[in-house]
A and B are shown apart, each in its own frame.
Chain A
Amino acid sequence: MFEDGSLFTHLLVDRLNYVIYVVLLMIGLWAMVAKNNLIKKLIGMSIFQTAIILFYVSIGVKEGATIPIYLSEHDPHGESGEVNNAQSSQPERPQVLEASLVAGYNNPLPHVLMLTAIVVGVATLGLALSICLRIYRAYGTVEEDELLLKLESEELRSSSGSRTRRWRPRSKRKAKVPKSFENTRSRKGDGDSLTSDGSQDAKARSRRPSKPKKSKDGEAS
């Protein structure tokens, strides 16, 4: 199975690093596509990003090479420069590295590119988290399916003709439904029952703008 030239050796021994990145990438993609929770999706995004970053950094590796910082003998301000300065009053100009020496340093470009990517990743992650916070504040959930249900019922209500209705926190919305109204309608089909009495609802809302909020258990259902 692991003899030279077989596909397994080719993939799992010589190119194991790429396979690991592909697996990481799949984990991230799976979390982004299949998970319901928005925060978990963000975690998936970060894993995905990490896979890409690792991939780029591994491209920059050269066998037997050192990090892309000049060794002191090539360093314009390093050992050799100082020695030369001591011998001659004229400071020595740094030399262009020969091709054989270039092979001794890792490729700096992937590192630079990924430094950029990491910083942008932090910025996007912070922004995404703040949007999640806003969603949670407005709808009381970060689960995607619950969010979709709520958005749907919101749409139904807004199409019922009450012009004054606009997007507002769920807690406020609930609080403004009149008591009598709430008792008669069923829990599940609140979208339908609201459509028939949208105008009444709006009136009730203007009459009682600051009714105390419902308890948490009521919201949780």
Chain B
Amino acid sequence: MKRASFILVLFIGLLLIWAVKDFPEWGDPQSPASSSPVSSHFIAKTGVDTEVPNMVTAVLADYRGFDTMLETVVVFIAGLAVLAILLGGPKRRTRDRDFIVEFEPDLIVTNTVRLIVPVIQIFALYVLAHGHVSPGGGFQGGVAMGASFILIALSWDLKTALSRFSIERCFTVAGLGILIYAGIGLASMFFGGEFLDYAHLAKILPISPEMARYHAMLGVEIGVGFTVTAIMFALYASLSTDGRMRDGL
């Protein structure tokens, strides 16, 4: 069995190495991906279309807005599914005690975390809000924000973290994030555009269509940030307690 799988893996590896022969060199500006008209179009016209300096954010939240919205839904569904899988099914073992961790929160650790967590959260908000002009965006900021709650759970215990951000609130916030995203899309539909065609929001905002796209992207990223923050923490909370939301780490 092991030998068969080793041969299989080796075969696939050799096949891929054989294919590597035909690949462009590292950083070759003439490579098909770099010289394709699609990527050149986005590099050349993002500034004109949206006035967003960060092309990655512009492509993610505007040109590919539909994809990103449904991806946020995927994250939301994954959070729900993890909880459903862990809570559902036949009655669980009676050995609840397995999950009780008896310890006192450490003085040094908790005080350090007390100092660090506000910095992490401010940084997360900065990454989220500054996603247009520097590397960042909703997903990255959301993950950093969720990590700050996980840090609280790790240094005190899960109860302390859940008292600040309960699991019900997690899913409310996650749903709210998707609603913000879809709401901005629907609003642009309402003003005569297509779904997620933010330029039409300029009809109610005192700005040019380009800047409407710019600011709508910020709104969309905030929605994504909400969902990712909440689901990151919900994933941690449900996985570390086997879905019962108490006595975990």
Minimum Cβ distance to chain A for residue B123 (Å): 19
Q: Residue B64 contacts which of A11, A14, A33, A112 (CB distance < 8 angstroms)?
A: A112
A116 with B85: in contact, given A68-B43, A75-B53 (CB under 8 Å)?
Answer: no
Q: Is B43 a contact partner of A10 (Cβ separation < 8 A)?
A: no
| 1/0 contact string of A21-46 vs chain B (CB within 8 Å) | 01101100110011000000000000
Q: Is A116 a contact partner of B68 (Cβ separation < 8 A)?
A: yes
Q: Is A102 a contact partner of B43 (Cβ separation < 8 A)?
A: yes
Tell me if B26 counts as interface (CB < 8 A to partner A): yes
A side interface size, CB within 8 A: 74
Q: Is A126 a contact partner of B86 (Cβ separation < 8 A)?
A: no
Q: Residue B45 contacts which of A15, A67, A96, A126 (CB distance < 8 angstroms)?
A: A96
Q: Is B90 a contact partner of A11 (Cβ separation < 8 A)?
A: no
Tell me if A89 counts as interface (CB < 8 A to partner B): no
> For A76, what are the chain B residues with a Cβ–Cβ distance below 8 Å?
47, 51, 53, 210
Distance in angstroms between the alpha carbons of A213 and B74 in the assembled complex:
40
Q: Is A108 a contact partner of B44 (Cβ separation < 8 A)?
A: no
Q: Is A130 a contact partner of B51 (Cβ separation < 8 A)?
A: no
> For B64, what are the chain A residues with a Cβ–Cβ distance below 8 Å?
112
A63 with B29: in contact, given A22-B20, A34-B2 (CB under 8 Å)?
Answer: yes
Q: Is B85 a contact partner of A127 (Cβ separation < 8 A)?
A: yes
Tell me if B42 counts as interface (CB < 8 A to partner A): yes
User: In residues 8-29 of chain B, which contact A (Cβ within 8 Å)?
Assistant: 8-10, 12-13, 16-17, 20-21, 23, 25-29
> For B71, what are the chain A residues with a Cβ–Cβ distance below 8 Å?
116, 119-120
Stretch touching chain A among B133-141, B176-184, B188-196:
B133-141
Minimum Cβ distance to chain B for residue A15 (Å): 5
Tell me if A195 counts as interface (CB < 8 A to partner B): no
B side interface size, CB within 8 A: 72
Nearest A residue (CB) for B47:
A94
Q: Is B29 a contact partner of A167 (Cβ separation < 8 A)?
A: no
Q: Is A119 a contact partner of B48 (Cβ separation < 8 A)?
A: no
Minimum Cβ distance to chain B for residue A69 (Å): 5
Minimum Cβ distance to chain A for residue B11 (Å): 10
Distance in angstroms between the alpha carbons of A169 and B90 in the assembled complex:
7
Q: Is A19 a contact partner of B20 (Cβ separation < 8 A)?
A: yes
Distance in angstroms between the alpha carbons of A111 and B59 in the assembled complex:
10
Q: Is A123 a contact partner of B27 (Cβ separation < 8 A)?
A: no
Q: Is A33 a contact partner of B8 (Cβ separation < 8 A)?
A: yes
Q: Residue A130 contacts which of B44, B91, B239 (CB distance < 8 angstroms)?
A: B239
> For A97, what are the chain B residues with a Cβ–Cβ distance below 8 Å?
43-45, 47
Stretch touching chain A among B33-41, B154-162, B167-175:
B33-41
Tell me if B60 counts as interface (CB < 8 A to partner A): yes
Q: Is B42 a contact partner of A109 (Cβ separation < 8 A)?
A: yes
Distance in angstroms between the alpha carbons of A64 and B75 in the assembled complex:
36
A30 with B51: in contact, given A19-B17, A22-B20, A112-B59 (CB under 8 Å)?
Answer: no
Q: Residue B25 contacts which of A14, A69, A98 (CB distance < 8 angstroms)?
A: A14
A171 with B20: in contact, given A109-B42, A130-B238 (CB under 8 Å)?
Answer: no
User: In residues 110-143 of chain B, which contact A (Cβ within 8 Å)?
Assistant: 133-135, 137, 139
Tell me if B93 counts as interface (CB < 8 A to partner A): yes
Q: Give 6 closest A-B pairs by Cβ, nearest first.
A: A123-B78, A63-B27, A108-B55, A70-B53, A33-B5, A97-B44
15 contacts between A and B (CB under 8 A): A10-B21, A11-B17, A14-B26, A15-B23, A25-B16, A26-B13, A33-B5, A75-B47, A107-B43, A116-B67, A119-B139, A127-B82, A130-B81, A134-B89, A137-B89
- A residues lining the B interface (CB < 8 Å): 10-11, 14-19, 22-23, 25-26, 29-30, 33-34, 58-65, 67-70, 74-78, 93-99, 101-103, 105, 107-112, 115-116, 118-120, 122-124, 126-127, 129-131, 133-134, 137-138, 166-169, 171-172, 213
